[in-house]
């Protein structure tokens, strides 16, 4: 019985040590997720779905998020800079009326520094977005 308790103690100590080491390593090297939201006029009807979509993305552990959009002046606009928590309250207040121009999102200088890029749009013409490395497209239709 003494051997069992010795084995159980060593196993527990090793498990705690490896868990703590993994947590500290993952915390120090966060996965950077760039979320690019299309704010074209056709997205206005689907704006009510954005909190649900973004909340599901915000539950990824050990991640930092940055939210950008193609603003009405056809430049990209930073809604939220890199942060552990996703704050999309400012995004919901935007009046979505910009013309559909997904290339403005593709040309963001933040794409190179991101580990993953997520495009949120309702456009059926996403061929240009598909060519971006490390990216995926969430269609909110």
Residue 54 belongs to domain with CATH number: 3.40.50.410
- Domain membership of residue 1 (yes or no) is no
- Domain membership of residue 16 (yes or no) is no
- Domain membership of residue 70 (yes or no) is yes
Mode of pairing for the β-strands spanning 76-83 and 63-70:
antiparallel
What proportions of the chain, in percent to the nearest 5, are helix, strand and coil? 40, 25, 35
| Residue 40 contacts residue 98 (beta carbons within 8 Å) | yes
Number of domains in the chain: 1
| DSSP reduced 3-state for 39 | coil
- Domain membership of residue 49 (yes or no) is yes
Q: Look at the chain and count its residues.
A: 141
- Domain membership of residue 84 (yes or no) is yes
| The pLDDT value given to residue 28 | 59
Whole-Å CA distances, 55 to 21, 35, 45, 52: 28, 12, 19, 5
Which residues constitute the domain of residue 76? 30-139
What b-and-e string marks burial along 9-28, b requiring 16 or more CB atoms within 10 Å of the CB?
eeeeeeeeeeeeeeeeeeee
- Domain membership of residue 15 (yes or no) is no
Q: What is the 3-state secondary structure (H, E, C) of 100-139?
A: CCCHHHHCCCCCCCCCEEEEEECCCCCHHHHCCCCEEEEE
Pull the structure tokens for residue 95: 């009046």
| The pLDDT value given to residue 60 | 75
Burial degree of 65 (CB within 10 A; 0-12, 13-18, 19+) = buried
pTM, to two decimals: 0.73
- Domain membership of residue 35 (yes or no) is yes
Mean pLDDT per 10-residue interval, the chain, length 141 residues: 86 83 66 84 81 78 83 67 79 71 73 86 78 83 77
Pull the structure tokens for residue 117: 């890029």
- Domain membership of residue 43 (yes or no) is yes
């Amino acid at each position: 019985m003494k051997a069992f308790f010795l084995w159980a103690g060593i196993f527990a100590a090793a498990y705690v040590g490896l868990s703590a080491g993994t947590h500290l390593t993952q915390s120090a090297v966060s996965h950077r997720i760039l979320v690019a939201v299309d704010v074209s006029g056709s997205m206005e009807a689907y704006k009510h779905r954005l909190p649900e979509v973004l909340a599901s993305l915000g539950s990824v552990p050990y991640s930092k998020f940055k939210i950008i959009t193609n603003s009405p002046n056809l430049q990209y606009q930073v809604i939220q800079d890199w942060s552990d928590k996703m704050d999309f309250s400012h995004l919901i207040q935007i009046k979505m009326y910009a013309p559909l121009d997904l290339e403005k999102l593709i040309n963001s200088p933040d794409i190179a520094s991101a580990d993953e890029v997520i495009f949120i749009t309702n456009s059926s013409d996403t061929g240009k977005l598909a060519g971006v490395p490390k990216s995926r497209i969430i269609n909110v239709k």
